[in-house]
Structure 1
Amino acid sequence: METAGGHQWVAQRIPDDSYAVVSNQLSIQEVDFEDPENFMFKADLKQFVVMHHLNPNPTSFNFRNIFGLNDLSDEYYNTPRVWEGQRILNPEITQSPVSHDLPFIRKASRLIQIEDVQQILSSHYEGTPYNPVGTGSEAEKHRFRPISLPATQESHILQIKPNQPIEVGGIHWLAMGVAAQSVYVPFFAGMSETPEMYHHGAKVYTADSAYWVFKLASVLTDAHYKEFVKELNTTRSKVNVQMRNQLHDFEQRALELSDTTALEELLNQAGNEISATAIQAFQALSANLITKSTDLSPLYYQHNEEL
Structure 2
Amino acid sequence: MKVKANGIDIEVEDTGGSGEPLLLIMGLGCQLVHWPPYFVQPLVEAGYRVIRLDNRDIGLSQYFPQFGRPNPTWGGLMLALGRELPAPYTLGDMAADALGVLDALGIARAHVAGASMGGMIAQRLALAAPERVRSLVSIMSSSGARGLPRPEPHVVRALLARPRGGTREALLRYYVELYRTIGGPSYDQPEADLRAAIEVSLDRAQNPDGMLRQLRAIMADTRRAGELARMRVPTLVLHGREDPLVPVNCGADTARRIPDSRYVVIERMGHALPPSVSRPLVAEMLPFLRAHPIEAAEPALAA
TM-score norm. by structure 2 comes to 0.23
